[in-house]
Structure 1
Amino acid sequence: FMCTIQHHSLFEKSRCDTSLGFLTQRFAEMLRRSADGVLDLNLVAQELNAPKRRVYDVTNVLEGIQLIKKKSKNFVEWL
């Protein structure tokens, strides 16, 4: 299913905003924008307004299919 941009109050989140597919799309956009292909997962969680656990769900899948790898504790890099 496809997520569309929706306007919500400050505290309201739709299911779409927190779906793994949507977070993965936004994560990939952040990777493409990064100058060196490296992301700080703390900053990712903050920018995506998502719990770090959800960010780890995304990175675990991408690491499993060998698109990224862990560089250090809180950093991943594009392969």
Structure 2
Amino acid sequence: MAAQHQESGSRHHTYCRKQKSLGLLCSNFLSLYDRDGIETVGLDDAATRLGVERRRIYDIVNVLESIGVLARKAKNRYTWRGLAAIPRALDQLKREGLRDNCGGTSYLK
């Protein structure tokens, strides 16, 4: 009976794999929040507005937090810092990579 229910459910919810991709979800998330006046992002609200489960939002929020676009404020709430943080994060990663290469065995000699 469960298989029957699953089959009938799949007929109603056909989708393209690309429509569920994290890349597309991230683009939609950024389109939603990269605007003037946005200071706080609520993950429950984002999940509802984008039509996905909250765990999918966490997948992209973790990456955006690591590069400084978002900062955790409270449970399920983040402060929007904006896309201007990305070049700084990339510069820092580059410096750390160079430092790690110079500190260990360097193949650039």
Q: Tell me the TM-score range normalised by the shorter chain.
A: 0.7 to 0.9
Structure with more relative contact order (C-alpha pairs < 8 Å, separation 6 or more): 1
Greater percentage in strand: 1
TM-score (norm 1): 0.76
Where do 5+ consecutive residues of structure 1 fail to align? Answer: 1-9
Query: Larger C-alpha radius of gyration, 1 or 2?
Result: 2
For 1:40 and 1:61, how far apart are their aligned partners in 2?
Answer: 16
* RMSD of aligned alpha carbons: 2.0
| Percent of paired sites with the same residue | 33
Deviations 1:2-59 (A, max 9, x none): xxxxxxxx73332122111111111111212472321111011011111111100000
Aligned residues: 71
Listed as ranges, the gaps of 5+ residues in structure 2 are 1-11, 82-109
Q: 2:100 maps to what in 1?
A: none
Q: Answer 1 or 2: which has greater helix percent.
A: 2
* Aligned with 2:20 (options 18, 21, 36): 18
Q: Matched residues in 2 for 1:51 and 1:21: separation? A: 15
Q: Normalising to structure 2: TM-score of the pair? A: 0.57
